[in-house]
Amino acid sequence: MHTRVRKPYGGESAGVSQPMSENKLSMPSADSFSYMLLVFVALSGEFPTSLVDLLPYSSDYKRKAITRLKKARWLYTYYSNHLRGLRLTAAGKRALIQFGPEPLASVLSGNGCVCLPKYDVPNRLRLHRMAEVLVTLYRSNVLVYPWEKPPVFISQDQYKAMTISEACYYSSFEVKSIGERACFFGSSRATGLLLSPDVIYAIYNTADGEMKWEYASELRLKVFMEQDLCHRQLSFHYSQVTPAAIVFARDMRQSITLLSGKQNNKKPFVLGNQFDHFYYLTLDHHGELLLPLLCSNERKANFDHYLLSDFSPSRNYRMENDGFDDNGRPVLLAYTCDIPRINSFFTALDIFDMTGVMICFDYQEDVLREICGNRVSFIHIDSEEYERSVFHQPL
């Protein structure tokens, strides 16, 4: 997928090599791969080595750049329990704090968990999941660098209204920089918040396993999004918007667990009343292509209109639907994998002993068919043709 050229930090260090007396490496240029990698490691706490392949630049160039950063003792590989990740050394942190942009320095020098090393497997896996989301959103042209985005998450005494002009992602480390208010939802499993001019999402990543889910913590996060952001600081954008959520996973198979609501005898993952809309995206090129639709109401509405052009309009009915086919069967747009809507749709089909139609992408069909059984017929969208035919502008 095409990724636009990203803006380097525009401060004193942008494009300039700064000498560092404590080692033999100068601060990399702010538009270089080395600088990008240092920032990604800083934002995630530990950056899985497997994600390096997803970043721009050639493999040889990236390998040499990582070797230089390790020789300078700014970066090192931590390997334990079959997990391999890149971490900043104390010297690397000092370099970014001294010569990097102030928003990044605040993340590294503040009270956030990113400043503290993690060695146990659950916490390291959480850092890896945060890094996966960071890279996926970056590749989808969402703003992830701290200096690119409005400083939404500031302390109470610095509060001011903000304007969101592009899709921006704030990691949980950045969100928690608001101070004491973060304790209200501190145990949430969200990796961060995604804000666009139209919508606001809590972001989760279950990867290829089951994620611990605490109902009360996620409900408190939603309350924070509604009260502090939608009706206060970002009311210009979100006063009429209900927060939603996106969960990323390694592939479509994990959606079976989420839709069934069975997770180690805990409460259902998303079938409570935290979020009315909870979208399921894969951590791959398919997810990167789908994300722009979720970040723009206008773009999604145009695509929905195209998909429903051959069906009768939706009407007040006893079940969730987006239209009806010529046989009177309800039709549901399932390509966004909105888990509560899909669950409500096929549950209603079962209760009322009906059949229906789902419209989804080709890579989603097999799993949705397994979940829904014979009551649902599928119309699939060719994902390759969709990518060729739809012009994806920057978010």
* Geometric angle at alpha carbon 325, from 319 and 331, rounded to 5°: 40
Q: What whole-number distance in Å separates Cα of residue 376 and Cα of residue 148?
A: 44
Residue 327 lies in a domain: yes
Residue 271 lies in a domain: no
Name 116's Cβ contacts closer than 8 Å, sequence gap at least 6.
none
Q: Which of 123, 144, 183 is nearest to 55 (CA)?
A: 144
Q: How many domains does the chain have?
A: 2
Residue 51 lies in a domain: yes
Residue 312 lies in a domain: yes
Name residue 345's amino acid: F
**At which of 51, 83, 110 does a domain end?**
110
Name the pTM for this structure. Answer: 0.87
**At which of 75, 110, 145 does a domain end?**
110
Residue 234 lies in a domain: no
CATH of the domain at 89: 1.10.10.10
Residue 61 lies in a domain: yes
Give pLDDT tens digits along the chain (395 positions).
444 545 555 443 444 344 444 456 788 888 899 999 999 999 999 999 999 999 999 999 999 999 999 999 999 999 998 999 999 999 998 888 888 777 777 777 655 555 566 778 888 999 999 999 999 999 999 999 988 999 888 755 555 667 889 999 999 888 887 777 777 787 888 999 999 998 999 999 988 877 677 778 888 899 999 988 898 888 888 989 999 999 999 999 888 777 665 544 444 455 556 788 999 999 999 999 999 999 999 999 999 999 999 999 987 778 899 999 999 999 999 999 999 899 889 889 999 999 999 999 999 999 999 888 889 999 999 999 998 876 544 44
Residue 133 lies in a domain: no
**At which of 60, 92, 110 does a domain end?**
110
Domain extent for 332 = 306-389
CA 35 to chain centre: 22
How far, CA to CA in Å, does 318 sit from each of 28, 138, 157, 356? 61, 41, 49, 13
Sole residue written with tokens 């934002």: 43
Residue 5 lies in a domain: yes
